[in-house]
């Protein structure tokens, strides 16, 4: 690391300790390049996923589902939060040591601010620093959006997802503003911990992108668990009282109100760019506040890349990791890899059981002109899936959308135990042209969830002629 009295010189400067940035930092450091990684918070080494995102929330899913009827709700929740925080602390320390322990990599804690296209100043626990990078990666992630609802900004009982999973007090009544993936995941988690949960969604229905049969199956499970889904509603006001907070909302032209002990804002996330002074670097942002990038993730300044949520792409950790592959291909490869190479990217909604999807829905496939065959079965009727009975989770369904002419798998929706794993097999098959017949006739271990494909893909319920 070249450090003179005024400026730290780095081959690669990474701003933000997210998945994509740390992957590039580690690879370039291993190749002997000098790397400086700047992270504004000592609580975010490793990025959103291991600290406040995927790892703690999915760990809470696990703990919530282990609770027995005789367990004290508060005691079980407090114990679970403590164990999850211990896990995230372990991951955070590992991420920091893994990079900062490299001879060619230095982790700096503080807020980075551009002074010119190659230079940032940092104010933080290491004191004022100036860092100059030949190549710069912006990897600052995203943060929750708090809607402009009267009383919401100043309510003492309003929390973001980050704040909620760090509190050790289980809210007896939880109101959630937003019925997207985040809102529904937290609804499922906290209902299993024992909270009364009400979800307020502005749209007329949840999961509107999914086919009606899939959406109905999800809603049936959530309703069966006691989660109240209030759709087609506008939250008008949030009013703190001495013992509870009142959520005032309008539905079908009528005002209603509900008292809760905590309000989770799950209305989406926005890129973190406000404090970077991107204007000084000449880096353009989109109307939504994301760093504008091309298919190689280069910004309006070719030596500055943006990875992960901050570039406005899909907000998933695995997309950020794939971003790192694209950037590394630009820095040390042949430069041909682009965002257009991503095919059949799966998604999972971690309710219980999880909903995992990939590709086109039936509605989308028909709209695009495909002749479609659909194979679908309720999990409880899949004879070749005894694992569902072994783990005592037979709710849900599996659905495949197939091109009737080519036998190509166009998409799938798996609402079942192990769906988050099964969907990866389906996505891999789609990427490599494995037909529905081949997937149906493959040999799978037993008892496993994957062998359900042997049954489901043999059940055609509707064909376009």
Taken in order of first residue, the domains within the chain and their CATH numbers are: 2-142+270-341 (3.50.50.60), 158-267 (3.50.50.60), 347-463 (3.30.390.30)
Could you tell me the two tokens for 266?
A: 């799950």
User: What is the pairing mode between strands 173-177 and 233-240?
Assistant: unpaired
State pLDDT tens for residues 24-43: 999 999 999 999 999 998 88
In this predicted model, what pLDDT tens digit does every residue of 144-193 receive, in sequence order?
A: 999 999 999 999 999 999 899 999 999 999 999 999 999 999 999 999 99
Average pLDDT over residues 53-77: 92
**What pLDDT is stored for residue 465 in this prediction?**
46
Joined together, the tokens standing for residue 257 give: 């109100």
pLDDT tens-digit profile of 84-113? 999 999 999 999 899 999 999 999 999 999
Distance set, CA 440 to CA 347, 424, 455, 457, 462 (Å): 22, 15, 7, 5, 17
Tens-digit pLDDT profile for residues 266-319: 999 999 999 999 999 999 999 999 999 999 999 999 999 999 999 999 999 999
Q: Which residues of 234-266 are buried (b: 16+ CB within 10 A; e: fewer)?
A: ebbebbeeeebbbbbbeeeeeeeebebbbbbbb
Does the pLDDT of residue 3 top 80, yes or no?
no
Q: Note the pLDDT of residue 53.
A: 81
> Helix, strand, coil: what percent of the chain each, to 5?
35, 30, 40
The residue with greater pLDDT, 201 or 45, is 201
Q: Give residue 90's pLDDT.
A: 93
| Predicted TM-score (pTM) of this structure | 0.92
Query: What's the CA gap between 285 and 113, in Å, rounded?
Result: 16
The more confident residue out of 5 and 212 is 212
Helix, strand counts (H, E) of the chain = 14, 23
Q: Report the C-alpha gap between 124 and 106 in whole angstroms.
A: 14
CA 330 vs CA 326, 334, 401, 414: distances in Å = 6, 7, 36, 36
Say how far apart CA 343 and CA 98 lie, in whole Å. Answer: 31
pLDDT above 90 covers a percentage of the chain that reads 90
Res 64 pLDDT > 90: yes
Q: pLDDT tens digits for 181-226? A: 999 999 999 999 999 999 999 999 999 999 999 999 999 999 999 9
Buried b (16+ CB within 10 A) or exposed e, 115-127: eebbbbebebeee
Quote the CA–CA distance of 398 and 375 in Å, as a whole number.
Answer: 8
Look up 446 and say whether it is catalytic.
yes
Q: How confident is the model at residue 48 (pLDDT cuts 50, 70, 90)?
A: confident
Alpha-carbon distance of 35 to 108, in angstroms, equals 11
**C-alpha 170, offset from chain centre:** 23
pLDDT-based confidence at residue 46 (cuts at 50, 70, 90) = confident
407-444 per-residue burial string, b: 16 or more CB within 10 A, e: under 16: ebbbbbbbbbbbbbebbebbbebbeeebbbeebbeeee
Nearby residues of 253 by Cβ (< 8 Å), 6 or more positions away: none
The single residue listed with the structure tokens 């940032």 is 120
Q: Outline where DSSP puts E strands in 202-345.
A: 228-231, 233-240, 245-251, 254-260, 262-265, 269-271, 304-306
Which pLDDT score is estimated for 50? 82
Residue 217's nearest CA partner among 385, 381, 429 is 381
Rounded-to-integer distance, Cα 382 and Cα 248, Å:
44
**Separation CA 457–CA 188 (nearest Å):** 29
Q: Give 125-135 pLDDT, tens digit per residue.
A: 778 999 999 99
The residue that leads in pLDDT, 441 or 52, is: 441
Compute the mean pLDDT over every residue in the chain, rounded to the nearest whole number. 94
**Residue 51: per-residue pLDDT:** 81
């Amino acid at each position: 690391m070249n450090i003179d009295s005024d400026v730290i010189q780095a081959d690669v400067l990474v701003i933000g300790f997210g998945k994509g940035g740390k992957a590039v930092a580690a690879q370039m450091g291993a190749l002997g390049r000098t790397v400086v990684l700047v992270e504004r918070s000592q609580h975010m080494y490793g990025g959103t996923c291991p600290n406040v995102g995927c790892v703690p929330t999915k760990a809470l899913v696990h703990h919530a589902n282990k609770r027995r009827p005789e367990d004290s709700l508060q005691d079980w929740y407090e114990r679970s939060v403590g164990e999850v925080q211990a896990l995230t602390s372990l991951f955070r320390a590992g991420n920091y040591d893994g990079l900062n322990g490299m001879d060619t990599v230095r982790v700096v804690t503080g807020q980075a601010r551009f002074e010119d296209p190659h230079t940032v100043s940092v104010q933080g626990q290491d004191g004022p620093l100036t860092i100059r990078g030949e190549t710069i990666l912006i990897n600052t992630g995203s943060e929750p959006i708090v809607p402009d609802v009267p009383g919401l900004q100043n309510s003492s009982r309003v929390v973001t997802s980050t704040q909620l999973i760090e509190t050790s007090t289980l809210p007896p009544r939880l109101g959630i503003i937003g019925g997207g993936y985040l809102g529904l995941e937290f609804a499922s988690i906290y209902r299993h911990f024992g909270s009364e949960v009400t979800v307020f969604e502005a749209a007329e229905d949840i999961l509107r992108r999914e086919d009606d049969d899939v959406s109905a199956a999800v809603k049936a499970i959530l309703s069966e668990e006691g989660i109240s889904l209030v759709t087609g509603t506008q939250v008008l006001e949030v009013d703190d009282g001495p013992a509870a907070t009142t959520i005032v909302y309008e539905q079908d032209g009528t005002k209603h109100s509900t008292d809760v002990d905590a309000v989770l804002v799950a209305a989406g996330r926005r890129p973190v760019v406000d404090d970077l002074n991107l204007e000084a670097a000449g880096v353009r942002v989109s109307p939504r506040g994301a760093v504008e990038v091309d298919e190689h993730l280069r910004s309006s300044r070719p030596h500055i890349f943006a990875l992960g949520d901050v570039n406005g792409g899909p907000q998933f950790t695995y997309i950020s990791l794939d971003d790192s592959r694209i950037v590394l291909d630009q820095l040390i490869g042949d430069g041909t890899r682009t965002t257009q190479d991503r095919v059949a990217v799966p998604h999972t909604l971690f309710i219980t059981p999880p909903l995992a999807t990939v590709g086109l829905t039936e509605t989308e496939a028909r709209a695009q002109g495909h002749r479609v065959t659909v194979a679908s079965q309720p999990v409880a009727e899949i004879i070749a899936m005894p694992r569902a009975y072994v783990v005592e989770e037979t709710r849900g369904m599996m659905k495949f959308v197939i091109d009737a002419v080519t036998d190509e798998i166009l998409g799938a929706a798996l609402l079942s135990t192990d769906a988050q794993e099964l969907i990866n097999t389906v996505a891999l098959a789609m990427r490599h042209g494995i037909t529905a017949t081949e997937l149906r006739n493959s040999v799978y271990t037993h008892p496993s969830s994957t062998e359900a494909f042997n049954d489901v893909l043999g059940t055609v319920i509707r064909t376009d002629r």
